[in-house]
Structure 1
Amino acid sequence: MANVMIQYTEQGELSLYLAKKDLEEVITQIEFDEEEKWGGELTLANGAIYYVEPYGVKPKLPISVRAKRLQAA
């Protein structure tokens, strides 16, 4: 599992930043993106998929979380 930061870009898109690889990629899909449940599988624009343990409420961004890579780009 890796520490990642999820934040909004200047264009208003969600992005995932992985400092270990100096990788920042736009998040194209989130499994759970509601006020009462947020997280799950995050699909990135490059095709990679990461998993973030779902939160009971939508967190305030930016946020640092632990994410597991399910599929490489």
Structure 2
Amino acid sequence: MANVMIQYTEQGVLSLYLAKKDLEEHVTKLEFDLDDKWGGEIELANGAIYFIDPMDQRPKLPISIRAKRLRAA
């Protein structure tokens, strides 16, 4: 599991930043993006997929959270 930061870029695009690899990629798909359920599988523009445990409500961004890599880029 890795610590990641999820935030909106200046252009208003959701991105995931992985400090350990100094990698920032745009999020192309977020499994749950609702006010009452947020998280799940996160697909990045480079093809990598991460998983964060779904939350009961949409968090205030930016947020640092633990994520599991399901597929490498």
Relative to the length of structure 1, the TM-score reads 0.99
Aligned AA (2:21):
K
How many matched pairs?
Answer: 73
- For 1:1-73, what aligned pairs fall within 5 Å after superposition? 1-73=1-73
Question: Cα RMSD (Å) of the superposition?
Answer: 0.3
Residues in 2 aligned to 1:25 and 1:72: alpha-carbon distance in whole angstroms: 13
Shift of 1:30: 0.3
Aligned counterparts of 1:20 and 1:48: Cα–Cα separation in 2: 15
Q: Report the TM-score when normalising by structure 2.
A: 0.99
Structure 1 unmatched ranges of 5 or more: none
